[in-house]
Structure 1
């Protein structure tokens, strides 16, 4: 729950000011005058800090279609927003797309029923004790991106849109914030400098419209994005120039972060949250800190996640995914950035109010307040009949090791495991006892406990080399029959016989997970998507190398002839 307002000294002073009268000194012929002292307002930095953590109501009021259900989500309810607050969130970002509901020039009147519904949802969120960030969303690529060629028309519509929003919400509390435009982009510019100038013009127009509307908008916190809501240094510097020109203490900056791209979508061998992915994360927050936070500009990470989540959360291996979110939470917390998780329905059920991946949400939630220890992996593969000791490297993240547990029972150091520095070794005797020669799959789950934060789970998996079979099919429907034998597919390479890369993203041999290939363990297949064959040379054999998490690799050859596909082992 949000803390009571009186726990804030600033808010307490403001509350007292509301009931304090000022008495002017009496003078000859002048009666004492009394009147209310203007209420103080919390600094923008405090307003933004109290929004931590936040959640996005994605693919709903921003959906392009008839109404908020057009992209598959149900209508927003009070129960949903109260479930968001119950989960520990303090704010909700409400993206809205309004161009499709706007009339023609010169008024660009927004359908009153749409505005009524937006206001209803905003009020439901405020009533649930959530701060709200109202964001103009897909309009960025639907019409404001045409500003280079339709400058006056776009600026007029943008101004009219915010005039109507500002008027509708002018008397709402200051826990409602406005964001000018989501992920701003411009088609056909001469380069970044022109794009920066156009974005500055939009942000300045937004600022002028809202401030001139009066009421609560006179000091409402306004949130301005970088170009593409990206945190490259040039983008940050351009937005700082806008802040300096506007010279308004009630402004905040926003950017988005979806991770190091190869890791975020699992392409080019980006299966792990490795040094490159970690450096991308820490570098991003360092730039934001040095450019904005150090200047006293509050910052909102308006969206974060992994791009592969747009398909499903299984695109990234579970342990690697958890390490990313644990580290991101730490970076945001220590930098002083408010975070707002992007959720288009893939995380929190909009009807059952349950989390699709409870372990993921547990790590996200824990990262709001503390670090948790992790490890080099959350899966240890054991080959039946050839069991050998295996070592997992711990990443304590400032915590201390407290023990290794199995089914809640503490294992014995020196007998069941050894720990040398951060190297946790599981001896062959333990692995034989827990995995032995039993059936393939997860045989046991160990739990590494640290002094603080969440424990780290390590699956012990019995696995043998997967077995593939020959197959025929079409470019629209082709699957490699696969007996996984307990193993798990990590990635796939594709090369022609001369060694050159095949398929999409021809600059890398490693193809994009789920876009070009996907394992289906229940069906016993590895599916090759139409998108893969769309960029494969007709009649040219392609050698696929499937990389499994155990370290095993298996090759397979496919040949496309028109729409027909044949596949052979080896």
Structure 2
């Protein structure tokens, strides 16, 4: 998976912006608020671009269009996207390694021809198209000390793009520069940064307008600093747009959610009121600053930062609630939202959604709200009697039409009872679904009067247990866990003598996928080198929080390169297994395996040890690959 350049500094930026919300009024009203002017021809054209999709990790890749793992773009892909209901496509492009020498910086003819081909396919399919300069923002970082060089290169690139496409219809839009910045500190606002960005955006507008053809009135998109939605950055962009006095300018922002929720850190595991308010305030600020005054806004990218690692970084039901609200509220604020897709959402070979429930809730958001619930997980403890289970629904203005178990429609009043928004699943129904299996045993699908379906996943579980381990290291520590059908939500680490341990030491709750990753197939939790690089020697108290509500304590001791762990589930006198031995699967996994499961052996056998070593090596290699790709875009 590719990770955008900006992710290297996103933590400081997002934390700072989250804190800044504390001093802003709810809704983040702009100083420029006035009666809304949302009936312009350009505004209507922009709204018609909803929904939008990003061709990510392709033409902005540091090599060729397949170097970041995606297949060659085809006409069939573009047509498939159109068939999914998309109305616009953003094509991120990095031109830098396709340029010749100064002073003309000629763009490679074959590359320009290839971009034209994909633009033509998209327009032939009836899509509005955005092209930009994307990771070229990297060489613009030096603008403060190399201003003449940066402006000359920027000017040369846009003169060529503008000339090449000057006769294309207005449904081809140009974007000045993706996420412009002039420092590695994504959270830093300096007057000179705003002044330099104003110069870039002004230069861009003048180049295009002077290039002839349909560029005289072509819609142009301008980014605020880092494409961020803080009020200070929106206000500075507003000043530029006001100064240019051009009726065909559009503002853009990017949105990846409340940082703590977006990456699953600081115990922010659910789409709660804080995460919801972050959406509301960000979109309100953009609306009040621009849309209400006749300047359209496009949300040029949206998603979750945790997707950089895996779509499993955030729990699935919480992702669905986030996507539902973002899509709905963006439409309410008349701002089309363009999904960032680095290849992990829409399969570019099979032309199908890898997570169809994501697509379903986003599609439904174009016409209204979807219903959901406080959770999509229902846990049934295996060693306890089955009782009625009540879950709160968030109907969002809809009515419940049916509840199904597979193809069987359940009986209202017998199998379930709905009282307002309280859904009670009756004990007899649940008993009929329970098996001896641990993990997911059934799925109940709710359909509503409007919007996407909502699925409850029923999981049979026992309290998870841990095991002691010796012989671990800072390179990769493997914590053995019998998940017993449960799922890990988050993990706390703190030093026994005080203070939070590991990265993000402003919170004891560590980032999912960065400091720890559960492996349900093999019943273990991996804690990589990235965690221990910021750990001092000593005793660390670990708390494992599970979605069932279970909390397990564990103790790790770090001494030099060695790491060991002690589980309260094992007697102190019991010998501890080696770190490699515990890497083999020992119980039924709670999720479908992503690959062939390894056959387990008795502890102490040579085969068992070698399997464990192999798994540890593969895990370390995967983590190294992820780290290597941190420089890449998502």
- State the TM-score, normalizing by the size of structure 1: 0.89
1:281-320 mapped onto 2 (5 Å cutoff): 281-320=279-318
Measure, in 1, the Cα distance between the counterparts of 2:419 and 2:497: 46
CA contact (8 A) 2:383 2:462 kept: no
Work out the CA distance in 1 between the residues paired with 2:198 and 2:443. 53
Asked if the contact 2:269/2:489 (under 8 Å) is kept, the reply is yes
2:506 is matched with which residue?
Answer: 507
Which of 170, 178, 183 is the equivalent residue of 1:182? 178
> Aligned residue for 1:108?
105
Q: Could you list the per-position Cα deviations for residues 304-342 of structure 1 after superposition, in whole angstroms to 9, with x for gaps in the alignment?
A: 000111111111101000000000111011111111110
1:172 maps to 168
Structure 2 residue matching 1:210: 3-state secondary structure: helix
2:150, 2:442 → 1: CA distance? Answer: 60
Shift of 1:50: 2.1
Unaligned stretches of 5+ residues in structure 2: 1-39, 569-634
Q: Cα deviation per residue 1:53-83 (whole Å; 9 max; x = unaligned)?
A: 1110111100012x11221112211111111
Answer yes or no: is the 8 Å Cα contact 1:148–1:187 preserved in 2: no
The match for 1:521 is: 520
Greater mean deviation of Cα atoms: 412-421 or 163-172: 412-421
Distance 1:47 1:105 in 2: 38
Measured in 1, the distance between the counterparts of 2:495 and 2:513 equals 21
Q: Distance in 2 between matches of 1:237 and 1:203?
A: 14
Cα RMSD after superposing both structures = 1.6
Alpha-carbon distance in structure 1 between the residues aligned to 2:372 and 2:320: 8
Q: What CA distance in whole angstroms lies between the structure 2 residues aligned with 1:188 and 1:491?
A: 29
Q: RCO higher in 1 or 2 (8 Å CA, sep ≥ 6)?
A: 2
Task: Report the more deviating stretch, 194-203 or 412-421.
Answer: 412-421
Q: CA deviation at 1:445?
A: 1.4
Give the equivalent residue in structure 2 for 1:155: 151
SS of the aligned residue for 1:183 comes to coil
Q: Where do residues 337-352 of structure 1 align in structure 2 (5 Å cutoff)?
A: 337-352=335-350
CA distance in 1, matches of 2:499, 2:525: 23
Which consecutive residues of structure 1, in runs of 5 or more, have no partner in the other structure? 1-41
Summarize the alignment of residues 208-357 of structure 1 with structure 2, pairs less than 5 Å apart: 208-357=206-355
| CA drift at 1:150 | 0.9
Matches within 5 A, 1:358-373: 358-373=356-371
Structure 1 segments, 4+ long, off by >6 Å, are none
Other-structure match for 1:10: none
Q: Distance in 2 between matches of 1:59 and 1:88?
A: 22
1:12 matched residue in structure 2: none
Q: Which has the higher Rg, Structure 1 or Structure 2?
A: 1
Cα distance in 1, alignment partners of residues 362 and 562 from structure 2: 45
Residue correspondence of structure 1 range 116-127 to structure 2 within 5 A: 116-127=113-124
Secondary structure (helix, strand or coil) at the match of 2:321 reads: helix
Q: CA deviation at 1:184?
A: 0.7
Per-residue displacement from partner, 1:364-415 (whole Å, max 9, x unpaired)? Answer: 1111222111110101101023133322111011112223332343333333
Does 2:413 match 1:421?
no
Matched, 1:541 2:531: no
2: CA distance, partners of 1:400 / 1:120: 47
Aligned to 2:68: 71
Match of 2:477 in 1: 478
Q: What is the distance in 1 between the residues matched to 2:191 and 2:397?
A: 43
Question: Is the partner of 2:347 in helix, strand or coil?
Answer: coil
Tell me how many residue pairs correspond in the alignment: 525
Could you tell me how far apart the structure 2 residues matched to 1:75 and 1:439 are?
Answer: 43
Q: Secondary structure at the match of 2:447?
A: strand
CA contact (8 A) 1:148 1:188 kept: no
Encode CA deviations 1:226-278: one digit per residue, 9 max, x unaligned: 11101111111111111111111111110000000000000001110011000
Match of 1:85 in 2: 82
Matched residues in 2 for 1:363 and 1:218: separation?
Answer: 39
The 8 Å contact of residues 446 and 453 in structure 2, kept in 1 or not, is answered as: yes
Match of 1:98 among 78, 95, 119: 95
What SS does structure 2 have at the residue aligned with 1:143? helix
Please identify, of 112-121 and 423-432, the stretch whose mean Cα deviation from structure 2 is larger: 423-432
What's the secondary structure of 1:47's corresponding residue? Answer: helix
Partners of 1:561 and 1:291 lie apart in 2 by 54
| Cα drift, residue 188 of structure 1 | 7.9
Question: CA shift at 1:460, angstroms?
Answer: 1.3
Q: 1:191 to 1:322 in 2, by over 3 A?
A: closer
1:63 and 1:97 in contact (8 A); partners too: yes
Does the residue aligned with 2:178 lie in a helix, a strand or coil?
A: coil
* SS at 1:170 equivalent: coil
**Is 1:143 the counterpart of 2:139 in the alignment?**
yes
Alignment check: 8 A CA contact 1:541 1:558 kept? yes
Paired with 1:485 and 1:256, the residues of 2 have a C-alpha distance of: 40
- Residues 170 and 217 of structure 1 are in contact (CA less than 8 Å); yes or no, is this contact kept in structure 2? yes
CA distance in 2, matches of 1:348, 1:338: 19
Q: Shift of residue 220 of structure 1?
A: 0.6
Greater mean deviation of Cα atoms: 234-243 or 185-194: 185-194
Q: Structure 1 residues 556-565 or 488-497, which shifts more?
A: 556-565
Match status 1:568 vs 2:566: yes
Structure 2: how far apart are the matches of 1:114 and 1:327?
Answer: 39
